[in-house]
Amino acid sequence: MLPIAFLEHESPGRVRLKVPSKRGDASFFQGVARDLADNGVIAELKTNHQTGSITIWHSSDIDALRDDAAARRIFELRAERPGTLSNRAVVRALKPVGHTGLLKAAGAGLLGFGLLQVLRRRTLGPASEFFWHSYAAHRLLGSPMLSSALGGIGLLQLMRGRVLGSASGLLFYAVVVHSLVHAVEKERERAE
């Protein structure tokens, strides 16, 4: 049975994989680097046995990398780890929205409201919002630095006693989480 690699993060020309079952196994990750070295679409490959990760810069697509790794009997690549949210799952969840024009208009409107609140000197929300944004920055944007900064502001607001947001905000977050979980579960059922 091949080790299972999970798609942790994907952006054009770059993927980061995790192989939790081989975490700490330096010889496995050295073998991965050696076995994939002659793959013509891989420009660079870095492994970290301590975290169990493989980062690949490539000129192909994830499906070609998946097929090559399976054919060479290195690992089996799965789209996402159970219980996690990948960028692909979020995109699939947003597809029913339809045209991106609506999303762009919503983004512009939110930016405008944000600037209005800056003018009103209402710049920081409650801790719950910053923790939600910290999670989104890490999982959806793949930005640990932004995630850490937002989490730090969340802790600051927590210490100030500003913990919970408005009922409407928290209920909306609950609906979003429920929708995303439903989309991920539906996608998993299709994959099985």
Q: What is the pLDDT of residue 47?
A: 92
Burial class from Cβ neighbours inside 10 Å (0-12, 13-18, 19+) for residue 41 reads middle
Radius of gyration of the chain (CA): 20
| pLDDT surpassing 70 at residue 97 | no
Task: Give the highest mean pLDDT range of 104-113, 151-160, 170-179.
Answer: 151-160
Structure tokens at 50: 């301590």
Domain ranges of the chain: 4-78, 87-191
Of the chain, the percentage scoring pLDDT greater than 90 comes to: 12
| pLDDT surpassing 80 at residue 76 | yes
The CATH number of 4-78 is 3.30.70.100
